[in-house]
A and B are shown apart, each in its own frame.
Chain A
């Protein structure tokens, strides 16, 4: 009983056959757990902003789940008050303005926030309530920044637009500043930039870290963000804000994602230090050389090994390009959630050596049915661990990925693969026995 893995593969496209996400089919029509929604992305970002209020506008279910998700653990609210305007049939039919007005008055009275983010959900976006106009009215009436984050789920397959739109909206908080010797970090979805190698090297060279968004921030931090000499964009969700800041305040930016390839990392460092007007530390050159040697050694171990991959905390296509071109590893299946122009070069680099299957991400339930047919050596990202063990597939665990940036990313990947390879030898004595 279950899905037919062979049939799934027969319908699945290869990377070379797709150039937009509509062409990429999910591995099954019935999904579980399914994608996160942009409301989640907005929540993850806003919950860290001190003295802010996040207002979820939607049915009771969206309000309930947002409270539930932020009630404890790592996603607990941290400085932000999350409230909601729960829509009923009357609001759906006659509009939600009246209820919104009442709610806004209450929240201003009770929380006295410095900034308010109104986050819409699917239902409001379908009924077409003009929440932007309402927000403009509240901003005028109450004299504080009121931003709208449009977070409908039916236009996207993941939660990233929620983060991106929150960042976009935050430019309304920013004001012209005198430029100082500091950098902002835009787009860090999870983890701490302060723990990264890049942060260490910047600090050692007298550069202060300004705004980190997403990250712990206050309305004032956001307002003062244009004081930075440079924006470091660590994930594409930060790009629209970086571009907008460049246009409005002239702040240059560098796209410095969690790249794997030492040469690319070196280029990013060079660009950042050049904008900052500082000499590039000699240690970077040494690090790059060290890592190139390490890559050579590890290629002898991993060359020819196969893997499948889900989403990771890294720059996904760049990671696969690195694994394919530097380590001679072979991806059999990639679970993807975008086919943006930005990744075109990386995809070409992958295709120069292999042509993996592609399917949509976040459908772990169905993935297990493909394992016996693909029989990869390794799995990267989320997977069905019970099923993987059954087929001798070993997970490449990059647990610290969220707290890495710079050359340490490359080190982490190489170490994780070596460890996984050792684990495979220990547990399987060879692979693909089909037994526990």
Chain B
């Protein structure tokens, strides 16, 4: 697998930056060549992240590389602290800094005495794993270093694991907020790593429950549970039945009942789309059963699989966009195909299939398929709307429309 023809999997370092930049009153300082930051700005803004005063670079010269001169880093830390007064400066090593082994944790340690901002370093440099490693790393750090223990409790919930790198994540979070408001009359305290301030993260320990959207945030949820006694529910609300089950898990955890009107509405909608099933199913009507393949993050795959199941569509293959070696008890139906060539060859075999995936899948599948973008990379797609989710009730409403379009195209 020497050649990479399209996008490689984003690195741990990229995920670290896109998860830290959205935190208001904090600054990300990259220690490394400026070109990386300049290039990276294009990606981060495409993910809907504000660039102004959230990301800086020190740039480096040959002197820094050869002589180990860290004065640029020291000066930049001092300057940011004085000029912008952030609560935290996250110092992130670039790949070349990680290779030469500059001790940026050490620099942050001695510089801490000079500045008011808290200094937290990330030395991964992009070589420790794919973006899921970076997400775990950031979430773990935020739980350990920023979330505060508090005796005070409030009725809010928090969202853990909403990553800016996920397609339509802001819409999905909007839908979760709607669902939680309608179901339990609860408001979100913090959507960690996507919105909010350092103070919001500090206050996560005051919340009633944490909603964990992806596997990479489980360790973080466990740390907060042990540290602050805040329980959590893990899973994503996909499909009408899936959403109801998800709400029921939360209801059980917080000891509240779900707004009955919402329950009735979700059940009604689920009934309307229920397949004829059994011996009267489509197979019996002379049609082949419609097929889908899904490419995306681990939790996205499982979520879409269950939603498509409600639509009586067989998710024939679940292709994970990242390594699942750190995913405990991973679902056996999920495949990770690390070799790009093998993935491309597989994509080329699909026919008359609903392909839900990334730009990569769209590029290499034939036109005889029906494509829906649901995962990263999604460079050719824009994300203007923040109210068009895939999750929840509204997400399922939309998926039904897509399904009908798919069916009409292939006369299922």
Chain A interface (Cβ within 8 Å of chain B)? 1-4, 26, 28-40, 58-65, 67-69, 71-72, 83-86, 88-89, 92, 98-107, 110, 122-123, 126-127, 153-155, 157, 159, 362, 365
Task: State A114–B2 Cα separation when bound (angstroms).
Answer: 20
B10 touching A35, Cβ below 8 Å:
no
A71 touching B96, Cβ below 8 Å:
no
A102 touching B38, Cβ below 8 Å:
no
A34 touching B59, Cβ below 8 Å:
yes
Q: Find the B residue at minimum CB distance from A31.
A: B57
Q: Cβ of B56 < 8 Å from any Cβ of A?
A: yes
A35 touching B3, Cβ below 8 Å:
no
Q: Find the A residue at minimum CB distance from B40.
A: A65
B198 CB to closest chain A CB (Å) equals 16
A35 touching B8, Cβ below 8 Å:
no
Q: Find the B residue at minimum CB distance from A3.
A: B83
Cβ 8 A contact of A102, one of B3, B6, B33, B72:
B3
Task: State A38–B65 Cα separation when bound (angstroms).
Answer: 17
Contacts A29-B79, A92-B127 given; indicate if A63 touches B38 (C-beta within 8 A). no
Q: Cβ of B156 < 8 Å from any Cβ of A?
A: no
A319 CB to closest chain B CB (Å) equals 24
Task: State A83–B6 Cα separation when bound (angstroms).
Answer: 7
Q: Find the B residue at minimum CB distance from A41.
A: B35
Cβ 8 A contact of B55, one of A32, A63, A69, A155:
A32
On chain B, the number of residues with a Cβ less than 8 Å from chain A's Cβ atoms is 62
Q: Can you identify 10 A-B contacts, CB atoms within 8 angstroms? A: A30-B80, A32-B57, A35-B34, A37-B36, A62-B95, A85-B3, A88-B127, A123-B95, A123-B96, A155-B61
Cβ 8 A contact of B100, one of A65, A105, A126, A362:
A126
* Count of CB-CB pairs between chains A and B under 8 Å: 188
Interface string of B15-58 (1 = CB under 8 A from A): 00000000000000100111111111111001000011101111
Q: Cβ of B352 < 8 Å from any Cβ of A?
A: no
Q: Find the A residue at minimum CB distance from B14.
A: A61
A85 touching B35, Cβ below 8 Å:
no
B162 CB to closest chain A CB (Å) equals 22
A122 touching B96, Cβ below 8 Å:
yes
Q: Which residues of B contact A36 (CB under 8 A)?
A: 35, 38-39
A84 touching B4, Cβ below 8 Å:
yes
Task: State A20–B16 Cα separation when bound (angstroms).
Answer: 37
B2 touching A101, Cβ below 8 Å:
yes
B37 touching A85, Cβ below 8 Å:
no
A388 CB to closest chain B CB (Å) equals 16
Cβ 8 A contact of A122, one of B9, B33, B127:
B33
Q: Which 6 A-B pairs have the closest CB atoms?
A: A37-B35, A34-B34, A102-B2, A103-B2, A153-B33, A65-B39
Contacts A31-B58, A68-B43 given; indicate if A126 touches B99 (C-beta within 8 A). yes
Q: Cβ of B178 < 8 Å from any Cβ of A?
A: no
B8 touching A84, Cβ below 8 Å:
yes
Q: Which residues of A contact B56 (CB under 8 A)?
A: 30-32, 365
Q: Which residues of B contact A69 (CB under 8 A)?
A: 39, 42
Q: Which of B50-108 contact A (CB under 8 A)?
A: 51-53, 55-62, 64-65, 72, 75-76, 78-80, 83-85, 94-96, 99-100
Q: Which of B287-331 contact A (CB under 8 A)?
A: none
A59 touching B83, Cβ below 8 Å:
no
Q: Which residues of B contact A68 (CB under 8 A)?
A: 7, 39, 42-43, 46, 377, 379
Contacts A30-B80, A32-B55, A61-B95 given; indicate if A154 touches B65 (C-beta within 8 A). yes
A102 CB to closest chain B CB (Å) equals 3
Q: Which residues of A contact B32 (CB under 8 A)?
A: 122
Task: State A28–B9 Cα separation when bound (angstroms).
Answer: 33
Q: Find the B residue at minimum CB distance from A53.
A: B3
Q: Find the B residue at minimum CB distance from A4.
A: B83
Q: Which residues of B contact A26 (CB under 8 A)?
A: 59
Contacts A1-B84, A126-B65 given; indicate if A103 touches B36 (C-beta within 8 A). no
Q: Find the B residue at minimum CB distance from A106.
A: B3
Q: Which of B373-402 contact A (CB under 8 A)?
A: 377, 379-380
Q: Which residues of B contact A59 (CB under 8 A)?
A: 11, 95, 125-127
B361 CB to closest chain A CB (Å) equals 15
Q: Find the A residue at minimum CB distance from B84.
A: A1
Q: Which residues of A contact B55 (CB under 8 A)?
A: 32
- 8 more contacts with CB within 8 A, not counting A64-B7, A110-B3, A362-B34, are A29-B72, A37-B35, A37-B38, A60-B10, A61-B126, A64-B43, A92-B99, A362-B38
Q: Cβ of B272 < 8 Å from any Cβ of A?
A: no
A61 touching B36, Cβ below 8 Å:
yes
Task: State A1–B5 Cα separation when bound (angstroms).
Answer: 45
Task: State A64–B7 Cα separation when bound (angstroms).
Answer: 5
Task: State A39–B96 Cα separation when bound (angstroms).
Answer: 15
Task: State A100–B3 Cα separation when bound (angstroms).
Answer: 8
Q: Which residues of A contact B140 (CB under 8 A)?
A: none
Task: State A154–B72 Cα separation when bound (angstroms).
Answer: 13
Cβ 8 A contact of B35, one of A40, A71, A105, A107:
A40
A324 CB to closest chain B CB (Å) equals 30
Residue of B2, B60, B341 with highest tally of chain A CB at under 10 A: B2
Q: Cβ of B214 < 8 Å from any Cβ of A?
A: no
Cβ 8 A contact of A30, one of B6, B35, B76:
B76
